[in-house]
Amino acid sequence: MSQQGIGMTSQRTRERLIQRLMDQGITQFEVLEAIRSVPRHLFVDEALAHRSYEDTALPIGYGQTLSQPYMVARMSQLALAQGRPKKVLELGSGSGYQTAILANLVDEICAIERIKPLVERARRQLRTLRIRNVRLRHGDGLEGWPGEAPFDLILGAAAPERVPPILLEQLAPGGRLILPVGGEQQQLIMVTYSPDGFVEEIIETVNFVPMVKGVTR
């Protein structure tokens, strides 16, 4: 079955996924609608397209994964907790699925991916979906995007050992950083740039690929 065919016949499996996310505490209407409307099967290899609407992470090559829908939804719901962010930095955009979800929820996204073939793949899929509020860059997520700072939200889909100070420097006052952090044991954290400084909150235990320095062609 072609990926387009999967998309046409997947409505029931998509609805089952939405129900599962709701059962796990995802309540934000805009997030659920974004998950429902973005065709996840476009962002995986065709051989895995039949598993696109399972609540599981899937490989996308180059040692990278497409995040579990629950985690995408959880991070997106956190992103909207204080209203709609205007300018967002996404680190580790992979094949572009989380980017496509966020594009429905924020005004502008600056997305960085270190693996060039994934940048090209994401660019193609975002163009196919006519998503126009994303700028995608081949670069090192550990450095952020200083030329575009400050950001209302920085969100990462790969885990550094600790929060890079250069990312905190790129937050706007009141802005938030949502990022998995750690080595073998990782925590999803949220850091808020408050009037009293940076306030860190641990959200939950997670398992992401490590955030690696440098870029690959």
pLDDT score for 69:
96
CATH class of 3-206: alpha beta
Q: Say what the pTM is.
A: 0.92
Instruction: Enumerate residues 6+ apart whose C-beta is below 8 A from 126.
Output: 96, 99, 100, 103, 134, 136
| 95 tagged catalytic | no
Q: Which residues pair with 64 in a beta bridge?
A: 61
b (16+ CB within 10 A) / e for 149-183: bbbbbbbbbbbbeebbeebbebbbeebbbbbbbbe
Residues 6+ apart with CB under 8 A from 40: 52, 53, 66, 69, 97
pLDDT tens track for 56-94 = 999 999 989 999 999 999 999 999 999 999 999 999 999
C-alpha angle 210-211-217 in degrees, rounded to nearest 5 = 115
Q: Which residues neighbour 105 within 8 Å (Cβ) at sequence distance 6 or greater?
A: 30, 31, 34, 76, 79, 80, 84, 85
Residues of the chain with pLDDT under 70: 1-10
- Active-site position among 67, 76, 93, 95: 67
Q: Where are the domains of the chain?
A: 3-206
Amino acid 216: pLDDT: 86
Question: How big, in percent rounded to 5, are the helix, strand and coil portions of the chain?
Answer: 35, 30, 35
